[in-house]
Chains A and B, each alone.
Chain A
Amino acid sequence: MTVPPECLRGSEPSLADRAMPDSLHGGSMHLVITGADGYIGQRLTAQAAAHGVAVTVLARRPGVRRVVWSLGLPVPDAAFARDPVAGPVDAVIHLAHHWTTEGDEAADPNIGGTAALLAAARRHGVPRFVFASSLSAQPAALNRYGRVKWRIEQLLSGTGEIAARIGLVYGGPRRGMWGTLCRIASLGPVVPMVTPWRQVQPIHLDDLCRGLLLLAGAPGPVTDPAHGVAVLADPEPLSFSRFLSLVARQVADRHLVVLPVPLAPILVILHLVNRLPFLPRVERERVLGLAGLPVVASGDSLRRLGLTLRPLEAGLAAERPGRHHDRRRRALIREGLVLLGYVRGRSPEPALVRRYVRAVEVHGTGIPLPMPGLLAGWPRLMRLVEPLPASRTPGQRLLSERLHIAALLVDATPDGGRRYDYRGESPVSAVLRLFVIVALEVVAMPFRLTLARRIWR
């Protein structure tokens, strides 16, 4: 098939597809690729794999090796073959799930498939098996998904067999539940919702991946020894409607009003909507899943793993589409202006702000903190919302770290240096000065105690 050159200007996958030679389709091709970790190689390998091409990568470091398997098929021995460089298999991370809605739940293919995979892992002496479960895993969960996950969890019995109960995953490519939520958030301005007061416990995709890798690889006990369950979710739940309006604000830049509606009519509407063309499809199972989420304590699990989750707002803010890098940079510059202006008492010069942005990019997470607009105009207002050193929520801790960076940067400028150039004064005026400082702090304290926690979640 030939493609007119003007059609190639776009970047939609369909065009790329059409530009692909026909012989690539059908999955009969097998390529050997070298340099697969490079800039072109990474994309090429992913694209080839997405087109069903079998790829063998020759690389200096061990990497991905693909073995054909699907839930319900016998597990091939090749899956657990020793790697010539990395040695035997250390852990299985079982994420695969086959969405089912009908049939006998006890005979769900997910259960049988996991049992087969688990048996194969045990047979090959794999010391760790991490099963991706869900917070909704309960014997009487509202949706089939939660009930099936619970049944599978009961298969895990040995030491090193871990069920990772995962919260509401957000961030990254807009697929899965996250994709659905982004679509719902962009429907607005009013979104009807079932039980919007339901508490959810989000976790960013990258944090989740870090957590799963820690569960698979960290030495020593990674779960409560009594039962092999690890909870990967924000320890501080928030209501689903609040979460969704945050998604709308941070990702789609819009205000969202959530209208509570009873479950039954929503299911009927969904049924109808999903039949109409051109409208985004919303899975009934997913809605039921959200309606039935319990709150599960995750602090212990995270501590045991040494996993710190990024604050929700910062995580969402980094998910904005568009020229991501520029947006992030601009947000960091805004943040630098506020924090440096605050600790210094007057607005910072551009070189100092550049140094701040560099410091946060190199030694911090590089993710800008959401700054209320009022602070951008009056950085001194930060006095009323600065967290106390003992505050423990991730957002407050992150802000304290940034303030520390800003303070050290200002301290190393002549402005900051002048603070060490104290020429003395009469003891009375020194005492008065201290009194004024302490009085201002006393006035600010109640605001800090109440506001900081709300703003820097």
Chain B
Amino acid sequence: MTEPDVVIIGSGPAGVSAAWPLVAAGRRVLMLDAGVGTIPNPAPERPSLRNLRQDPAGWRHLLGDDLRGLRKMTDVSPKLRMIPDAAFLSRFQDGNGLEPHGFSAIGILGRGGLSNFWGAVSCAYGPEDLVGSPVGAADLAPALRRVAARIGLSGCADDDLAPSHGTDLPLQPPLPLSPLAEALLARYQRHRNHLSLRLGRNRSAVLTQPLNGRAACDRSGACMWGCARGAIYSAASEVPELQRHANFALRDGFVVKALSVGGRGFVIGGTDARTGLPLHLEAATVVLAAGVLPTTRLALQCLERFDEAMPLQNCPAFAMALAVPSWLGRPLPDPAFGMAQLAFRMPLGPEPGDFAFGLLFGADAMAAPDLTAHMPLTRPGAAGLLRSLLPTLLIGLVYLPGSYSRNQVCLKRGNERMADRLVIDGGHSPAFDPVQRTLVRRLSRDFRRLGAYLLPGSAKPYPPGAEIHYGATLPMGARTTSSGEVTGRPGLFIADASALSRLSSKHNTFTVMANADRIGTLLAQRPT
């Protein structure tokens, strides 16, 4: 392609979402992807989780031929265990010039980014989450609908959690629940008036009906080991669709190292992932969608804001285990959907948006040793205990709003051999510990009324950043305009979660995709 109108840096959910409206409007779009090739999906003929577990050769699927599932990856989600090459993760830090201290900076320098391993929880930010943002719910609504139709959301439009997930969206029928989740939800319906907890079905970017060549979920239960049918959304699957358009081009293996003003507008410096040779590109309009940490680094570099500490938000999170004793002795049902079944929220304070958001997973869809490793019991004891408890067990992941995090990023100037690097200092706000303790108590009380008991000692906070919900470094209305354009750098746009004004406790990917679509649409309307 000669002279692209727009260069998009990053091939993840935000980059792809910004690309669609631009491509549809006839703009010439060049997407830069740091990876080479795609991360392979499991073979479509992979057996269900139950069959895998009974097959002597099942370990090849569950741990990988090369036993990559046994890699030591402390504090990393078990989903990332099956990533074929650990270098995807390590290259993310080195390749993007990130220097984290007390912060887990996780990402994948490859096609589709982290969406390859997405849990697919899809929430639309509503008015309570957009307080202080120049972009209101009404501004986002059309883009949310477009993205929902494009990626396919399944869920329920009329339960207690539906307003949190987003209303007025095209939805596929919800995924079937496990019998235990079904029973918990039924009990909640009877007791909801006495609880501050709000419980409902999860909303996911997982198909229950075929869409755009992707098959519907077949409830094989092996979601944690990757989806063999493409039912779970990944941005990597959309890149070939974009490539069918003559005005879209992908340049892979382009690791962007530096962004500065010059030439036709901006000069993008990088290295070729295949050869290590330097690369150079000029563009009048650049959309940064490389993921919050790399995007922040490039934007600060372009703004020449060195040695200036600024806040980075993440959603402090913790895990917990709930057991429903009345289900003791019941047979373990067939695995169904292997990721979050139910979602819940719990208010934290009087401010709008000050609430915790949580998910409940069936414990049987995970590898039991990952659960027993945290128990103070011996391995055989824990395995025996778990076998009897599995039918009663739900694993919760609870997220707090970004205001409970206290991280800082600061761009440090490099030298002739080391690129400029983004130093990230991680931490929780002092309010996190007391609020988390109170929250655990209140959750424990409300779930107890539903017959589910918090296992003692099971509530464990993640280290800062390990939950991989980052954002709000270049908030719209402050460092960027409401159309995502960086203040003082006309032509430079931020399309990922860096541009959010604040992080809600809800999962932000779907909202970020809609915001990227909105920014792409506004950009497409500008005269060339």
Q: Using a CB–CB distance below 8 Å, which chain A residues touch chain B?
A: 86-87, 219-220, 342-343, 345, 355, 358-359, 362-364, 380, 382-383, 386, 388-390, 400-401, 403-405, 407-409, 411-414, 416-431, 433-434, 437-438, 440-441, 444, 448
Among all A-B residue pairs, the 6 with the closest Cβ atoms: A417-B53, A424-B331, A407-B369, A412-B59, A430-B329, A412-B62
Chain B, 370-406, CB within 8 A of any chain A CB: 370, 372-381, 383-391
Cross-chain contact B332 with A421 (CB below 8 angstroms): yes
CB neighbours (8 Å) of A420 from chain B are: 50, 53, 332, 364, 368, 390
CB neighbours (8 Å) of A390 from chain B are: 376
| Least Cβ–Cβ distance between B379 and chain A, in angstroms | 5
Docked Cα-Cα span, A341 to B56, in Å, equals 17
Cross-chain contact B421 with A430 (CB below 8 angstroms): no
| Least Cβ–Cβ distance between A359 and chain B, in angstroms | 5
Residue of B nearest to A434 (CB): B388
CB neighbours (8 Å) of A434 from chain B are: 328, 385, 388-389
Docked Cα-Cα span, A434 to B50, in Å, equals 24
Cross-chain contact A430 with B367 (CB below 8 angstroms): no
Q: Which of A87, A417, A438 contacts B417 (CB 8 A)?
A: A87
Q: How many residues on chain B are close to A (CB under 8 Å)?
A: 53
Docked Cα-Cα span, A424 to B364, in Å, equals 14
Cross-chain contact A422 with B391 (CB below 8 angstroms): yes
Cross-chain contact B388 with A430 (CB below 8 angstroms): yes
Docked Cα-Cα span, A377 to B428, in Å, equals 48
The reply on B1 being an interface residue by CB < 8 A is no
Give the interface SS of chain A, mostly helix, strand, loop or mixed. Answer: helix
User: Which of A342, A414, A423 neighbours the largest number of chain B CB atoms within 10 Å of its CB?
Assistant: A414
CB neighbours (8 Å) of A426 from chain B are: 329
Given contacts A407-B372, A416-B368, A441-B381, 8 further A-B contacts (CB under 8 A): A342-B379, A364-B72, A414-B56, A422-B387, A424-B332, A428-B329, A430-B329, A434-B328
CB neighbours (8 Å) of A86 from chain B are: 417
| Least Cβ–Cβ distance between B395 and chain A, in angstroms | 15
| Least Cβ–Cβ distance between A50 and chain B, in angstroms | 32
CB neighbours (8 Å) of B242 from chain A are: none
| Least Cβ–Cβ distance between A443 and chain B, in angstroms | 10
| Least Cβ–Cβ distance between B356 and chain A, in angstroms | 26
Residue of B nearest to A433 (CB): B388
| Least Cβ–Cβ distance between B230 and chain A, in angstroms | 24
23 contacts between A and B (CB under 8 A): A219-B99, A220-B423, A345-B380, A355-B59, A382-B378, A383-B378, A388-B376, A407-B383, A408-B69, A408-B370, A411-B62, A411-B367, A412-B63, A414-B56, A417-B55, A420-B50, A420-B364, A421-B54, A422-B332, A424-B332, A426-B329, A434-B388, A437-B377
| Least Cβ–Cβ distance between A354 and chain B, in angstroms | 11
Residue of B nearest to A436 (CB): B384
Interface residues as binary, B52-74 with A (CB distance below 8 Å gives 1, 0 otherwise): 11111011001100111111100
Docked Cα-Cα span, A428 to B386, in Å, equals 17
Q: Which of B72, B329, B383, B417 contacts A419 (CB 8 A)?
A: B383
| Least Cβ–Cβ distance between A69 and chain B, in angstroms | 25
The reply on B416 being an interface residue by CB < 8 A is yes
CB neighbours (8 Å) of B50 from chain A are: 420-421
Cross-chain contact B67 with A343 (CB below 8 angstroms): no
CB neighbours (8 Å) of A407 from chain B are: 368-369, 372-373, 379, 383
CB neighbours (8 Å) of A412 from chain B are: 53, 58-59, 62-63, 69, 367
| Least Cβ–Cβ distance between B87 and chain A, in angstroms | 14
Cross-chain contact B330 with A409 (CB below 8 angstroms): no
Q: Which of A220, A427, A437 contacts B384 (CB 8 A)?
A: A437
Q: Which of B52, B72, B385, B391 contacts A424 (CB 8 A)?
A: B391
Q: Which of B55, B56, B331, B416 contacts A423 (CB 8 A)?
A: B331
CB neighbours (8 Å) of B372 from chain A are: 407
Docked Cα-Cα span, A412 to B68, in Å, equals 13
Q: Which of B70, B330, B331, B391 contacts A408 (CB 8 A)?
A: B70
| Least Cβ–Cβ distance between B150 and chain A, in angstroms | 36
Docked Cα-Cα span, A403 to B72, in Å, equals 12
CB neighbours (8 Å) of A219 from chain B are: 99, 418, 421
Residue of B nearest to A386 (CB): B378
User: Which of B364, B367, B375 neighbours the largest number of chain A CB atoms within 10 Å of its CB?
Assistant: B367
The reply on B280 being an interface residue by CB < 8 A is no
Cross-chain contact A389 with B53 (CB below 8 angstroms): no
CB neighbours (8 Å) of B329 from chain A are: 424-430
Cross-chain contact B373 with A404 (CB below 8 angstroms): yes
Cross-chain contact B54 with A362 (CB below 8 angstroms): no
Docked Cα-Cα span, A438 to B331, in Å, equals 21
Interface residues as binary, B121-150 with A (CB distance below 8 Å gives 1, 0 otherwise): 000000000000000000000000000000
Docked Cα-Cα span, A441 to B375, in Å, equals 11
User: Which of A380, A386, A416, A437 neighbours the largest number of chain B CB atoms within 10 Å of its CB?
Assistant: A437
Docked Cα-Cα span, A388 to B373, in Å, equals 9
Q: A355-B67, A414-B54, A424-B331 are in contact. Are A437 and B381 (CB under 8 A)?
A: yes
| Least Cβ–Cβ distance between B368 and chain A, in angstroms | 6
Residue of A nearest to B74 (CB): A401
Docked Cα-Cα span, A86 to B415, in Å, equals 12
Docked Cα-Cα span, A89 to B101, in Å, equals 26
Cross-chain contact B385 with A437 (CB below 8 angstroms): yes
Docked Cα-Cα span, A220 to B423, in Å, equals 9
Q: A220-B101, A419-B386 are in contact. Are A343 and B331 (CB under 8 A)?
A: no
Residue of A nearest to B68 (CB): A363
| Least Cβ–Cβ distance between B369 and chain A, in angstroms | 4
Interface residues as binary, B448-485 with A (CB distance below 8 Å gives 1, 0 otherwise): 00000000000000000000000000000000000000
CB neighbours (8 Å) of A386 from chain B are: 378-379
Q: A220-B99, A403-B379, A430-B328 are in contact. Are A411 and B70 (CB under 8 A)?
A: no
CB neighbours (8 Å) of B68 from chain A are: 363
| Least Cβ–Cβ distance between A303 and chain B, in angstroms | 11
CB neighbours (8 Å) of B421 from chain A are: 219
Cross-chain contact B328 with A444 (CB below 8 angstroms): no
| Least Cβ–Cβ distance between B178 and chain A, in angstroms | 13
| Least Cβ–Cβ distance between A138 and chain B, in angstroms | 33
| Least Cβ–Cβ distance between B168 and chain A, in angstroms | 40
Q: A409-B70, A411-B368, A441-B381 are in contact. Are A389 and B374 (CB under 8 A)?
A: yes
Residue of B nearest to A380 (CB): B380
Cross-chain contact A411 with B369 (CB below 8 angstroms): yes
